[in-house]
A and B are shown apart, each in its own frame.
Chain A
Amino acid sequence: MNVQDGWRRLHPLSPVVRAGRATIAIFVVLIPTLLSGGRNLSSDYFQLGAVAVLAALGFISWLVTRWRIDGDDLRIETGVVRRQSLRFPLAQVQAIDIVRPGLARMFRVAELRLRMGGASGGTARLAYLNEQEVEPLRAQLLALAHGGEEAEAPAQEAPEHVLVRVPTPRLVASILVSDVGMVAELVLLGLVIGAVLAPGAARGIVSGGTAELLAVVTLVWRRFNQEYRFNLAQTEDGLRLHGGLVALNTETIRPGRVQAVRMVEPFLWRRLGWCRMEVDLAGRQRRKGESEATGRSLRALLPVGSRALGLELLDHLVPGAPQPMLRAPRRVLVKSPLRFRYLAWGRSDAVVVTQTGRIRRVTVWVPLEKVQSLRRVEGPVQRALRLATVHLDTAGRALHAALRDRDRGEADEALGDLVRLARAARRAPPP
């Protein structure tokens, strides 16, 4: 699909895949028309016309969209009425994803997504490209992002060193005992009991709460669909995440782009000694109306695994990460009786760790070289108890470390120390 001057187009079937479920709906609408053999001419013409217009619009959008690699930039031009020319500097790439929804897999196409850093950083999307084209293109983009020459784009994939593989039974078990899973099970159990005791009432609930039921099922399904056969590997290009059942996703996180790491341990998982590891990348905050998929910055590097494996992974991401050792003073019980149990923080010379939560224990590690600014906040209740909170802000979108409810003197001392350590970490040459 080469056009002149190195400009290239997307795959011709892109509009069909992008329209996704709407395409299926259109076919359903068309079926009666096709079956009736043209008896109801007036209404059929209307439907056919609507479909034709949609198809034409899709075709035009494909026709006016083109992209090229221009030196160190990826450029995308699109739009008819509002012509846009987008330029994405490859040096700012935080991660490259390959996304393959079910429909895209049917048509053998895939979407390439480049997540950019910086305050204005958005996401460059090439939807959709030929399946064979995507892998080499990603390798080429990553090589360019590293500052390599375009000519020496590696034809071969970088060798992988698998760090994590999640077995399916464990994934299923983990979803069953997760918060979303428990809700779904309770709803199902309630329905079954209802159906046995009073079939009429159960039918009423099912028909009345269809939307809610669907929402719960969708949540559970999405977790399973995304994390099925998940594996994480270390390559030369960075961390490679791969997984999915219907929709296949491959993500690459460039080395040194991790802003913060978080370990989540929900209530029942703690009993089983399981945890979930997530990392946060740089990028702008999610805007209103932006879908969760495009605005998402937290990625699970370990959907579920033993605590030991989690800590091993942590050591790989943030070498020499400390454990939260310093507990909060007892008087915090008055202010946060639930949170108190796990409230703690700790630091080494390069990393800060904070822990909070009651039902879900959450531990966050922030490398000091990623700290953007520090804040000490003291609310009215905290003042009465001589407490203060120190926040460490990072460029990540979702995570920051908060040394909650520390003794005021300790908070001041910690702030002074952390300001100094962060300065030293910033000055140190990158490894």
Chain B
Amino acid sequence: MSELEPDWRSPSPRLLTMRRVQVGICGVAAAVILFAVLVSSTVTWAAIAGAVALVAGAVAQVFVARRVRAWGYAEREDDLFVKRGVLFSRLSVIPYGRMQFVDVTAGPFERLFGLATVRMHTAAAASDARIPGLETDEAARVRDRLTELGEAQAAGL
């Protein structure tokens, strides 16, 4: 259905890099810790455990890529579409008029990559709509636009 297939925009390509680095660090750290703990008893098993952790990290990279690619958002005339998820795929529709506030957060990792997460809040707790990995400028633009449209179309409870 064409109405549900608007022009999707995706998060910054740097989001994928960031997630890859995060997962990579976790994999390598797990491998090192496993090796360090086991090496005092048996060197062979320690090596095997470390290798398994590294392989798991490598496999995780594939899933990370799929997850990151699944994110998308589209600003339509009256509402915002956000889609995400691979195994459980979700599509959220948030009317601008229902938006209570928009916040932009950037954790230490995100700041390192110059990224930010934009989150929309409505009066319903279940409508959790966020767009991660937007470049800082784009995040500011989305925030301003959403606030502007939200004010223009505001509807009460």
Q: Indicate if B4 sits at the interface (CB-CB under 8 A).
A: yes
The docked-state distance in angstroms from the alpha carbon of A212 to that of B45 is 51
Cβ contact within 8 Å between B126 and A376: no
Q: Indicate if B87 sits at the interface (CB-CB under 8 A).
A: yes
Cβ contact within 8 Å between A118 and B95: no
26 contacts between A and B (CB under 8 A): A117-B123, A118-B157, A119-B100, A284-B125, A285-B125, A370-B157, A372-B127, A373-B94, A373-B95, A373-B98, A373-B122, A375-B90, A376-B91, A377-B88, A377-B91, A379-B88, A393-B122, A394-B124, A395-B122, A395-B157, A396-B124, A415-B93, A416-B1, A419-B93, A419-B95, A422-B95
Question: Measured between C-beta atoms, what is the minimum distance from A89 to chain B in Å?
Answer: 13
Find the residue from A118, A383, A412, A423 having the highest chain B CB count within 10 A: A423
> Known contacts A119-B121, A395-B157, A412-B4; is A375 also within 8 Å of B91 by CB?
yes
Question: Measured between C-beta atoms, what is the minimum distance from A27 to chain B in Å?
Answer: 44
The docked-state distance in angstroms from the alpha carbon of A51 to that of B97 is 56
Q: Indicate if A302 sits at the interface (CB-CB under 8 A).
A: no
Q: Indicate if A335 sits at the interface (CB-CB under 8 A).
A: no
Cβ contact within 8 Å between A412 and B90: no
* Chain A residues close to B by CB (< 8 Å): 117-119, 257, 259, 282, 284-285, 370, 372-380, 383, 391, 393-396, 400, 412-413, 415-416, 419, 422-423, 426-427
Question: Measured between C-beta atoms, what is the minimum distance from B13 to chain A in Å?
Answer: 26
Cβ contact within 8 Å between A379 and B87: yes
> Known contacts A118-B123, A372-B123; is A282 also within 8 Å of B90 by CB?
no
The docked-state distance in angstroms from the alpha carbon of A374 to that of B92 is 6
| Neighbouring B residues of A117 by C-beta, 8 Å | 123, 157
Total A-B contacts with CB atoms under 8 angstroms apart: 87
Cβ contact within 8 Å between A413 and B1: yes
Q: Indicate if B148 sits at the interface (CB-CB under 8 A).
A: no
Within 8 A of A (CB), among B39-96: 78-79, 87-95
Find the residue from B1, B87, B121, B127 having the highest chain A CB count within 10 A: B127
| Neighbouring A residues of B157 by C-beta, 8 Å | 117-118, 257, 259, 282, 370, 395
Excluding A370-B157, A372-B123, A400-B126, 5 further A-B contacts by CB distance (< 8 Å) are: A373-B127, A375-B126, A377-B90, A380-B87, A391-B126
Cβ contact within 8 Å between A412 and B126: no
Within 8 A of A (CB), among B105-157: 121-127, 129, 155, 157
Closest 7 CB pairs of A and B: A373-B127, A395-B123, A393-B124, A372-B124, A374-B93, A372-B122, A393-B126
Cβ contact within 8 Å between A412 and B124: no
> Known contacts A282-B157, A416-B1; is A426 also within 8 Å of B97 by CB?
yes
| Neighbouring A residues of B129 by C-beta, 8 Å | 373
The docked-state distance in angstroms from the alpha carbon of A118 to that of B94 is 17
Cβ contact within 8 Å between B93 and A373: yes
Question: Measured between C-beta atoms, what is the minimum distance from B125 to chain A in Å?
Answer: 5
| Neighbouring B residues of A419 by C-beta, 8 Å | 3, 79, 93, 95
Question: Measured between C-beta atoms, what is the minimum distance from B79 to chain A in Å?
Answer: 7
The docked-state distance in angstroms from the alpha carbon of A416 to that of B122 is 20
